[in-house]
Amino acid sequence: MATTSFATPPTLRRHRRLSVSNSSSPAEHHSAPNRRSLLSTALVASAAVSLSNCPISLAEKWGVRSFLREKYFDPGLSPEDAAARIRQTAEGLRSLRHMLETMSWRYVIFYIRVKSSYLDKDLKTVMALLPEGRRKAYVITANQLVENMSQLDNYVRTPKVYESYLYYEKALKSIDEVVAFLA
């Protein structure tokens, strides 16, 4: 009996994948993973250095993770902690100017909405620190701050540049008045 050998048709043969690059030597083909690892190492190192320069108190209470933690897992802040968070919000609101100038509306909206949700709760909590005689003026100032923040949110969402700047300045003035009440 004759043995028959079946040859693989040329269309089913596996070909070696050709890499497209400008290099002519095979040693340069293996440098791409090295470049990636070097670049990722450099990025991680620069991120670690930038985070190490940030104060711990700001790093802990800033961003989405702290929002979720403080919103759902730390619901009851003491009046002193609420006052500290209002002061921190005032500092953060001042640093928002650069984002408004570059018209980074998405980030501004996110920041305003997160901080507004904190402010509603914190403004009520802080009222326990104030004497009875100053509470009425505090309530008026706090209501003005909440109104200015909601108007700022509305105009940033639209986005209307002049009105956004106008209500940003009004919100800064209002939050400074609230911080003055807490001093």
With 0-12 / 13-18 / 19 or more C-beta atoms within 10 angstroms meaning exposed / middle / buried, residue 142 is buried
Q: For the segment 80-119, what is each residue's pLDDT rounded down to a tens digit?
A: 988 999 999 999 999 999 999 998 889 999 989 988 888 8
Q: Which two structure tokens, joined as six digits, stand for 142?
A: 């706090």
Mean pLDDT across the stretch 40-65? 54
CA atoms within a 13 Å half-sphere pointing along the CA-CB vector of 16: 3
Domain ranges within the chain, ordered by starting residue: 73-181
Q: What pLDDT score does 78 carry? A: 86
Q: Which two structure tokens, joined as six digits, stand for 25?
A: 């030597």
Select the more confidently predicted residue: 37 or 14. Answer: 37
Q: What pLDDT score does 36 carry? A: 72
State percent of the chain over pLDDT 90: 30
CA-nearest of 85, 79, 83 to 60 is 85
State percent of the chain over pLDDT 70: 62
C-alpha–C-alpha distance, residues 152 and 158, integer Å: 10
Q: What pLDDT score does 159 carry? A: 81
Q: What pLDDT score does 4 carry? A: 59
C-alpha–C-alpha distance, residues 61 and 23, integer Å: 49
Decide yes or no: CATH 1.20.120.290 for domain 73-181: yes
CA dihedral 39, 43, 44, 45 (to 10 degrees): 100
Q: Which two structure tokens, joined as six digits, stand for 59?
A: 């790093």
Q: For the segment 112-142, what is each residue's pLDDT rounded down to a tens digit?
A: 998 888 888 889 899 988 999 999 999 999 9
Q: For the segment 153-172, what is each residue's pLDDT rounded down to a tens digit?
A: 999 998 888 999 999 999 99
Other beta carbons within 10 Å of 84: 17
